[in-house]
Amino acid sequence: MEKILILDFGGQYNQLIARRVREQRVYCELHPHSMPLDEIRRFDPIGIFFTGGPHSVYLDDSPKPDPGVFSLGVPILGICYGCQLLAQSLGGLVTAAEDASAREYGKTETAFDPSCALFRDLPEESITWMSHGDYMARVPEGFRLAAHSAACPTAAICDERRRFYGVQFHPEVNHTTFGSEMLHNFLYAVCGAHGDWTMADYRRRSVEELRGRVGGGRVLLALSGGVDSSVLAALLSEAVGRQLTCVFVDHGLLRKNEGDEVEAAFADRELDFRRVDAGARFLGRLRGVTDPEAKRHIIGEEFIRVFEAEARTIGAVDFLAQGTIYPDVIESGFGESAVIKSHHNVGGLPDTVDFKEILEPLRLLFKDEVRQLGRELGLPESLIARQPFPGPGLAIRVIGDVTEEKLSLLREADAIFREEMATAGLDRTASQYFAVLTNLRSVGVMGDGRSYDYAVALRSVQTSDFMTADWSRLPYELLDRVSVRIVNEVKGVNRVLYDITSKPPATVEYE
């Protein structure tokens, strides 16, 4: 299979590069910039990306790859910091922009040389997204200029003999008008890709690999009933059949009626399905805990301990399987990238687990790819299109300490929001929507009397990959109905807010 290697230098858009490459039907993986040269050779990429990053390449402590990467004979595309790194490493000169006019941030009119392979068959002028305070004062020998803006004569450089390219802007973001076409040119015209990344092929290879790894062993799947674990259940069932046991842990942090709905969804399937009521156990561990990272770590560890206990009742279980996906891995801290939040099934895992191995077959898939795989496996659309729900459940939608009273308030408010979204026909168009019980209490007037109750925040976003998201422009009439119903029907809530923050700078969830 053709593979693209993306070396991570800590930029905010690095996961988007991976998304854009996958959208071109080319497989890629994001790895730390410090990936050893021998591992790069074993990975055998047809092309390499250097990502953006917050550093300055001329500083001694700036991140750099093994210099041997330039001698592999593999095409390289450097983006922003990656472009400057390419230039600095090969004999060019990068300096800080002393003149403020040489710094560029945001949408920028840019001119391109169409003879460069990156820009072939594209308009000679269009908009790009710039974000840099350093600039290339001298390009390396063998390179030529391939794009410029009013402030930056070195907006793109190329050495087409060695197939090295650098762009000062970000082609991976939507703000760059022809960014996808530029990436397509690099992948297909420069790297020679054929586009062999499909879910049908991924399914076939995953089944073969799982059968080889599991052999005659038994697998316990942490089944939440969400999209990821449901797709994984179908994949594992195809791979190992009756060697699979699915355990659904009802941790007392589910939405209204959700435990019964999950059990009903899998009732007619040929699976060894077991529901474990562990609500009291989880709430006991969470009592008095307010820090969101602490919540996630507690929940992650407690999940493992419940699965270990259940495995002992089943008999010898060799493997624990969980529906970790690529955004979980990236947000939990990856390479130079910061920890955004520790996902309970990644950063929240305890140091030791009582299983031979943890299986994560979806670990390198984005959410939309997981849905594609589910369709390939024949799962019903009702499961594939189900609203995402975080593993830690309502614990990270109750801000502050988690109590039964707060959970009850949130379940009712969330149920009203979901019901009204469905009535309005918006339940399938919004990527994710939910209610949050804030830790804010405010004065209100109810029944001619003073109230001092909680504020509920509503959140709805549109996204294709959950790495970036935009807030949904819901109709005011809908928000009005939801607000009136929550305040009137949920005792203990006297104020309703609507979150209009995109990701970034926010995340989809609150904690």
Q: Which residues are catalytic?
A: 80, 170, 172
Cα–Cα distance measured from residue 470 to residue 492, given in angstroms and rounded to the nearest whole number: 30
Cα–Cα distance measured from residue 184 to residue 22, given in angstroms and rounded to the nearest whole number: 11
Q: Which of 414, 401, 433, 435 is nearest to 292 (CA)?
A: 401
Q: Which helix (H) or strand (E) holds 47?
A: strand 47-50
**Alpha carbon separation from 226 to 21, 318, 385, 417, 500 (Å, rounded):** 26, 24, 10, 19, 25
The phi and psi torsions of 450 (rounded to 5 degrees) equal -80, 135
3-state secondary structure of 3: strand
Residue 450 neighbours by CB distance under 10 Å: 10
Cα–Cα distance measured from residue 367 to residue 327, given in angstroms and rounded to the nearest whole number: 8
Cα–Cα distance measured from residue 160 to residue 158, given in angstroms and rounded to the nearest whole number: 6
Residue 412 identity (one-letter amino acid): E
Q: Which residues, 6+ apart, have CB-to-CB distance to 174 below 8 Å?
A: none
**What are the DSSP calls for 126-158, one per residue?**
EEEEEEESEEEEEPPTT-EEEEEESS-TTSEEE
Cα–Cα distance measured from residue 323 to residue 497, given in angstroms and rounded to the nearest whole number: 32
Provide the token pair at 225: 């009933």
Cα–Cα distance measured from residue 76 to residue 167, given in angstroms and rounded to the nearest whole number: 11
Cα–Cα distance measured from residue 165 to residue 90, given in angstroms and rounded to the nearest whole number: 12
DSSP at 188:
I
DSSP H helices in 75-226:
81-89, 179-184, 199-214
Q: Which residues, 6+ apart, have CB-to-CB distance to 359 below 8 Å?
A: 210, 213, 214, 219, 236, 319, 320, 321, 322
